[in-house]
Amino acid sequence: MRFLILILCLTPFASMAEIVVPIRTIRAKEVIVASDLEIKAIEVKGAVRNTEMLVGQEARVALYPGRPIRPGDIGPPAVVDRNDLVTLVFDHVALSITAEGRALGRGAVGERIRVMNLASRTTVEGVIRPDGQIEVN
C-alpha cells in the first residue's frame, strides 16, 4: 500500500490548461465580443488562452462553438472594405496631394492594399491610415 501511495505521489499528473472557445458560430469578418467566448479546461497546442487577445478583433475565418481559436484565425478589424471610395494621400515635406480612389482589397490600419486612382485609372499600393485614408508613396 505504501508503495502505491509513493508511486502516486511521484508520478507527474498532466495538468489541464485553459483555452478560449466561442460559444456560438462567429462568421468571418465579424468582430468578437466578450459574450461570444468562454474558457474551456483543455490543452491544445497553439490555441489562444486569454480573452483579452480576442475581444475587439475580427474573425478571419468562421469560428465554431467549442473549437479552439488559433492566432491566425483573428486579426484587427478592417477599416477599408473592397470597393470603398477612399482618399489617396501623398505627403512629402511641404507637398501634399490628395485624390479619390477605389479600394481593390480589404484591410485594417497599417496594412498595405491596392487602390485604383479614379482620375487616372492607375492602380497604386498604399498603407491604410487610422482615418481610412490610404497613404501612397
pLDDT tens, residue by residue, 46-62: 999 989 999 999 999 99
The three-class DSSP label of residue 67 is coil
What CATH number did the domain enclosing 29 receive? 3.90.1210.10
**Residue 3: enclosing H or E segment and its boundaries?**
helix 2-10
From CA 29, how far away is CA 100, in angstroms rounded? 25
From CA 88, how far away is CA 62, in angstroms rounded? 32
Last-in-domain residue among 75, 109, 127: 75
Whether 52 maps to a domain, the answer reads yes
| Same domain as 57, residue 24 | yes
| Same domain as 68, residue 105 | no
What CATH number did the domain enclosing 112 receive? 2.30.30.760
Query: Which DSSP symbol is given to 13?
Result: P
Q: What predicted TM-score, i.e. pTM, was given to this entire model?
A: 0.71
Whether 10 maps to a domain, the answer reads no
> What digits encode the pLDDT tens for the residues 58-76?
999 999 999 999 999 999 9
Whether 29 maps to a domain, the answer reads yes
Domain that holds residue 71: 15-75
Per-residue pLDDT band at 14 (split at 50, 70, 90): very low
| Same domain as 23, residue 50 | yes
The three-class DSSP label of residue 35 is helix
All three cell numbers of 4: 502505491
| Same domain as 89, residue 62 | no
| Same domain as 70, residue 27 | yes
**Long-range pairs of 8-16 with CB within 8 A, sequence gap ≥ 24:** 14/43, 16/41, 16/42, 16/43
Last-in-domain residue among 32, 50, 75: 75
| Same domain as 62, residue 21 | yes
Phi-psi region of 79 (alpha: psi -120 to 50; beta: other; left: phi over 0): alpha
Q: What domain count does the chain have? A: 2
